[in-house]
Amino acid sequence: MQTTITELDLVVKMTITAWDAQNNQLNKLINELTDEQWQKEIAPGKNRGIYLLGHLIAVSDAMFAILGFQDRLFPALEPVFIFHPDKAVQDMPSVAELKEKLRVVNARLNDHIRTTTTAQWFERHMSVSPEDFANEPHRNKLNIIINRTSHMAYHLGQLQLLK
């Protein structure tokens, strides 16, 4: 028996494919950069690469709760990489620690993403109330993936400047 792919299935597949493509590009770049390059600012007076890496991990980690999958894996990253600017916190994880945290977050997040049904992607995310979602159904879980894919692409472009 052949399964029919609906337009919504196709939208979900395209979105997840874009998410995967950005993650693959980020992982490729991570493996190319040296520890010294991670310490460089992307431009004079701007964020360092290590900060952007931590920021991307913290944002992806926050997706667990926003999407209703589970609690964050590394909540201690949020104050360092979301609430404070680069260089405001002196005690920062090493590049090696951050790479491992990214691997763990992405593996677990991808497990959840792969098991979420098309219908579930169009449910509300946890940062919107049921009342607001009734008026704004575009504030769904899939929109979080779209937004975070764009966010990752933006910072990936910045990280390319470290080469």
For residue 40, tell me if it sits in a domain.
no
Q: Could you give the number of structural domains in the chain?
A: 1
Domain housing 113: 7-35+46-160
DSSP structure string for 32-77: HS-HHHHTSBSSTTS-BHHHHHHHHHHHHHHHHHHTTS---S-TTH
- Whether 126 maps to a domain, the answer reads yes
Indicate which CATH number applies to the domain containing 79. Answer: 1.20.120.450
pLDDT tens-place string over residues 100-138: 999 999 999 999 999 999 999 999 999 999 999 999 999
Task: Report if pTM > 0.75.
Answer: yes
| Spatial distance between the Cα atoms of 114 and 69, rounded to a whole number of angstroms | 12
What contacts 1, CB < 8 A, 6 or more positions away? none
- Average pLDDT value for residue range 30-50: 96
Two tokens, residue 134:
């009734």
